[in-house]
Amino acid sequence: MVLDEVFKLNNGVRIPKLALGTWQTPNDIAKNVVETAIKAGYRHIDTAIAYENETGVGEGLKAGLEATGLHREGIFITSKIPAEVKDYAQAVNCIEESFKRLDCKHVDLMLIHAPKPWSEMWKPKFPNYYKENLAVWKAMEEAYEWKKYRAIGVSNFSIDDLKNIMDNASVKPAVNQIRVHIGHVPTELIDFCKANDILIEAYSPNATGRLLKNQAVCDMAKKYGVSVPQLGCRFDLQLGLLPLPKSTHEEYIKQNAAIDFEISEDDMQVLMSIKEE
């Protein structure tokens, strides 16, 4: 089963191949969602400071462990330092506050949420925030060295942003979490990460619902007898990526993890040829 499978990060840490995404999951329902996911077999939960649900995720983690009898080491928890945080002192404070909200002794993976503040992400290349990202990375490296994190990485980073970290820091990013789904496959960035042993985590594998409006994708899902979100997750997985499906409903949480089927090579090529509308 996919839920029992893992990737190995570049520092040797094992990371479950599928994660529950919690973006847009309100804090007051995050506990129930996370507990439900753990009971359903999920072993990887993805959150972020910016999601404002770390407290609920931490409560759900404890409830899920109690319900299943698992140890804390049995669940992989990822969080992220906000994109707007671009200096060392702020990063240190975020790290400390994140631990308090999650109520964990360690977090398995911490990411820089984006290389620029969100308001500047889709503006021209400059400013590039290279120096600022290195300051945040330094704070994360220290926490990693103190074993507060089992791995550290980034999210939404371009090749140039990654090279800045790789060329100027002691610890290479273990992960780059980016948007990848049918219709949007940034091949050059994916190939660069694979060549440098940086795992790609794929958020929005269902394109935040847009794939449900694509007839070719719907027809392909019907061919395999699966839902469109299941097809999207399987597509990312077969690209060698780690998908992060998101739902707050028990039925869909379970369904999104039922992806133990194989998309044929020919059908993968068809899906790769689809362009985002």
CATH number at residue 204: 3.20.20.100
Q: Which is the catalytic residue, given 42, 51, 144, 203?
A: 51
Specify the pLDDT at position 127.
85
Beta bridge partners of residue 155, listed in sequence order: 177
Look at the chain and report how many structural domains it folds into.
Answer: 1
Expressed as residue numbers, the domain containing 88 is 2-273
Count other C-beta atoms under 10 Å from residue 269's C-beta: 10
Tell me if residue 42 is catalytic.
Answer: no
Specify the pLDDT at position 122.
81
Q: Give which of 181, 266, 253 is closest to 223, Cα–Cα.
A: 266
pLDDT tens digits for 7-45? 999 999 999 999 999 999 999 999 999 999 999 999 999
pLDDT for residue 259 is more than 90: yes
Average pLDDT score over residue span 185-200: 98
pLDDT tens digits for 71-121? 999 999 999 999 999 999 999 999 999 999 999 989 999 999 999 999 999
pLDDT for residue 179 is more than 90: yes
DSSP 165-200: HHHH-SS--SEEEEE-BTTB--HHHHHHHHHTT-EE
pLDDT for residue 123 is more than 90: no
Specify the pLDDT at position 126.
72
Task: Report the predicted TM-score, pTM, of the whole model to 2 decimal places.
Answer: 0.96
> Encoding tokens for residue 101?
């909200």
Mapping DSSP to helix (H, G, I), strand (E, B) and coil, where does residue 243 land? strand
Specify the pLDDT at position 78.
98
The answer to whether the Cα torsion of 158, 160, 164, 165 is positive or negative is positive
pLDDT tens digits for 195-251? 999 999 999 999 999 999 999 999 999 999 999 999 999 999 999 999 999 999 999
Rg of the chain taking only CA atoms, in angstroms: 18
